[in-house]
Chain A
């Protein structure tokens, strides 16, 4: 290799030349689609008419900030995350503990859950950031395994690392994020090559623990009712049944082609509670029908394809595992959120990535995209 060729070769490998533009384009399309749906909800709701512009503009601004975060994170080599994994993980645990201390963490209006910090009027939800911190920590641990597949001792270390934040999130209580964390663990363990036998044992143990949680009353009544509403419609409180009924009516009445933009009565008349946050898919389903819903699913499928592709292309196991963890995170959030809206998943507070209104959720999703880009851009260096 001569010097010139070597220089060209090295220039070819520069990270900036390997941005995954397809992924960025997909995210942009999905974000714009989310703003369009958010506009339809807010502009037609009479008692919120004064806020619709604020809401759409705020969400758009948050997405803009999200793009900046993508650029900043992608500019850093993802391998730094491995170096600082311990600090990142410890930071998440500290935040999760601090949020539980009265006076530091803020309580939501219902007075039940204590989930966020309020700093200068901005809500910061540590459990959202925890998802990425756990992904980094588990990827760091699993990528250091020298054996072809994780040993039982490795598994115990991984589970211990995952269970501490999971327990902290679960007792906030935030069952939605707990489910996401669990799915991230499972997804990463699969990609790390965990033996089927171990996975089965893990699954059974998990199920027993969930059953115990129900039995011992760790899961509170109002949570249980929400979790089981999709299975047992008869014995749920009126507001939960109403929420699910209206959600199904909204999506179902959309039909094949939808009722038209701004023409959905369920959306316009604000029948579905929380339709701008957790239930935003109802507005899309009613207005754009089966065709529109499938298009959205297709967008998510393409994003997940890019994420798994990045996992496969990553230069090292740490990158592969991190990308796999992020793919697991997006997949479970999309699945549980849309599944909840259409009545095949429990009602939990999981936002739909890039679409649900809410700052922390959007920013964390964009940060994850930044991580994916960092991995993709450095697959040759």
Chain B
């Protein structure tokens, strides 16, 4: 086999040559030229197309759909596929969709999109236009039509301020949120629960992964990850009560405009709000704010006049007046300040106090005189002071608080009134799950220092005296007032108002349960709270709101309330009525607070609205009684 072995050497030589060739080439590729190949590897990239999730839906407490999704045919343009006929295609498309060519070109220059991403240029494209595009692909290279989901509002304007709306993400938001997976074409909650519960409503986007080479050519397609729909919100809002509140508020504003203020001018009644709370839990049953807007405008894109109305007009219809603005609460503050006076021993349940026509702070030589709306000049109980809304009784309490402040100026507990009002939730947001909540203001010595225009001499008796009747400087949102009234109604539990009950995931599990809302206990005795509640029932039966509530079936539904008329020069007075209602007078079920800007006396405009809302809640027959603009009803 010697010969065979020499021939095997030939074979071995050939095999060795193979190894030499492979090794040489590998040396070239992996050692000499590796830098270039590593660069090429970097240039290879994965591109993702995101599949937008269906946004969660919003229901009321009975499961009635408030915000759903509807489909829209969206036309988008893939610039890289437009080819050399781009201008002709755009002109053709503009004609077909009745869009201005300039607008179309402008949307194509959107810097937020990568060159390979199709840019949406039109929504709600009519079906015949879509058919035309798909039947003539040669005329529309790079033009794509896709079905997208947009918001639908089965009840139109109902609860518009609570629900909020969604809008296309803007450049600044996109910069902040892109790390959370937001895309340039995503919508984002802009107001109301749409904004606050964005992370639940949004869902998880799906992905379609492609590999492209450095020329941008798609090379491979990976499996699709389907999007997960967002969580549904189940609100505490009762659509029936919400509709009633909106209806009665609108009707009340209209009625008010036919009436005059104390100086004979017609009432403006340009805006107003109604809040209905569950007295025991703080759940918001209704929250109405007028003027309002139609969220459907935002779905199909605002017209210039709609945009000007919504964002620029002085009517500020986008503002939720129930919680985004603080108003001077007027005499609706008295049940609260009365409780504070009781707590601090300044007033007592058995006490009797002078209700004079004017009041001067003891020892004050500045000449400041505080007036009462009524000149009765008699001694009265706290009950009657609330029932007929006597200011001077409360002025006297205010002086006591001021003395306490003066005596304990350097101590920490001097500002008893302010501390107690803050404990009631005033001066800070309630924490309701709605955006941009107003804090309101509890005026105190520190605040007075920041306003030398109003308080050149620092904190003066007038600060405490006026705060006692909810006048001049103190402000609160209707929601804050409702929260405080809720505590009076439910035995002293300060409940955080909330509009979302449960957040429910697509698989039916609870994504977010309501937290404990009533975790703050106020230090008022049941006797004190009961006394104030009965005084408020006196308001509706024989007090300042007796006229508005004449004929009301109190035997079925007990209503206690308080009128308020807040001076707000140069504007007309803010009209208030805050109440609690329910079959059991000792356990009211609902808190209803009504506020009307430039609405005149509380008993004149706000109280009838409030009464009508309560009647609607309890399916009671209307009792009329709206012409109450004289006598007892003219309180502050």
Contacts and interface: CB of A to CB of B under 8 A. Distances in A.
B224 to A, nearest CB: 9
B106 interface: no
B1 A290 contact: no
B29 A191 contact: no
Contacts of A311: 4, 8, 11
B21 A191 contact: no
Interface in B270-312: none
Nearest to A45: B222
B23 A294 contact: yes
B41 A290 contact: no
A6 interface: no
Contacts of B36: 252
B211 interface: yes
B173 interface: no
Given A290-B30, A293-B30, A328 B11 contact: yes
Interface in B20-61: 21-23, 25-27, 29-31, 33-34, 36-38, 40-41, 44, 46
A342 B23 CA distance: 10
Given A191-B8, A256-B31, A320 B18 contact: no
A308 interface: yes
A205 interface: no
Given A252-B33, A252-B34, A47 B222 contact: yes
Contacts of B44: 246, 249, 265-266, 269, 271
A338 B38 contact: no
Nearest to A331: B15
Contact of A190 (B1, B11, B37): B11
Given A290-B27, A290-B31, A339 B40 contact: no
A43 to B, nearest CB: 15
Contact of B220 (A191, A265, A270): A270
Interface residues on B, range: 35 or more
Given A253-B40, A265-B44, A339-B21, A290 B4 contact: no
Contacts of B615: none
A331 B21 CA distance: 13
Interface in A231-264: 238, 242, 245-246, 248-256
B37 A248 contact: yes
A324 B6 CA distance: 13
Interface in A167-207: 187, 190-193
Contact of B41 (A148, A249, A308): A249
Nearest to A270: B220
Contacts of B4: 191, 193, 311-312, 317, 320
Contacts of B7: 190-193
Chain B binding surface, main DSSP class: helix
Central interface residue in B37, B38, B209, by most chain A CB within 10 Å:
B37
- Interface of A, secondary structure class, is helix
A190 B7 CA distance: 6
B25 A344 contact: yes
B30 A269 contact: no
Given A253-B34, A308-B12, A269 B46 contact: yes
Contact of B11 (A249, A256, A314, A324): A324
B136 interface: no
B22 A248 contact: no
B315 interface: no
Contacts of B217: 238
A86 interface: no
B6 to A, nearest CB: 9
Interface residues of A, number: 53
Contacts of A193: 3-4, 7
A301 interface: yes
B527 interface: no
A294 B34 CA distance: 16
Interface string A327-351: 1100100110011001110000000
Given A47-B222, A331-B15, A312 B22 contact: no
Interface string B149-186: 00000000000000000000000000000000000000
Interface string B213-237: 1000101101100000000000000
A47 B223 contact: yes
Contact of B37 (A252, A324, A328): A252
A293 B11 contact: no
A93 to B, nearest CB: 27
Contact of A255 (B25, B30, B213, B222): B30
Interface in A262-316: 265-266, 269-271, 273, 285, 289-290, 293-294, 297, 301, 304-305, 308, 311-312, 314
A339 B22 contact: yes
Given A46-B209, A308-B15, A294 B31 contact: no
Contact of B30 (A254, A317, A324): A254
A328 B14 CA distance: 10
A209 B8 CA distance: 27
B10 interface: yes
A40 to B, nearest CB: 16
Contacts of A266: 41, 44
Contact of B29 (A297, A304, A335, A342): A342
A242 B36 CA distance: 17
A285 B23 CA distance: 12
Contacts of B23: 294, 297
A187 B11 CA distance: 7
B366 interface: no
B34 A312 contact: no
B31 A46 contact: no
Contacts of B31: 255-256, 290
Nearest to A336: B18
B22 to A, nearest CB: 5
A271 B29 contact: no
Contacts of A253: 34, 37-38, 40-41
B41 A301 contact: no
Contacts of B14: 187, 190, 331
Contact of A312 (B1, B15, B220): B1
Contacts of A251: 26, 29-30, 37
Contacts of B21: 335, 339, 344
B37 to A, nearest CB: 3
A347 to B, nearest CB: 15
A255 B34 CA distance: 5
Contacts of B223: 46-47
B5 interface: yes
A338 B22 CA distance: 7
B370 to A, nearest CB: 76
Name which of A242, A324, A334, A342 has the most chain B CB atoms within 10 A of its CB. Answer: A342
Contacts of B19: 297, 301
15 contacts: A191-B8, A193-B3, A249-B37, A251-B29, A251-B37, A252-B36, A252-B38, A253-B40, A255-B31, A285-B26, A297-B23, A304-B12, A311-B8, A314-B1, A342-B22
Closest 5 CB pairs of A and B: A252-B37, A47-B223, A290-B30, A253-B41, A335-B18
Interface of A: 46-47, 148, 187, 190-193, 238, 242, 245-246, 248-256, 265-266, 269-271, 273, 285, 289-290, 293-294, 297, 301, 304-305, 308, 311-312, 314, 317, 320, 324, 327-328, 331, 334-335, 338-339, 342-344
Given A148-B3, A269-B44, A327-B15, 5 more contacts: A190-B11, A242-B213, A252-B40, A253-B38, A334-B18
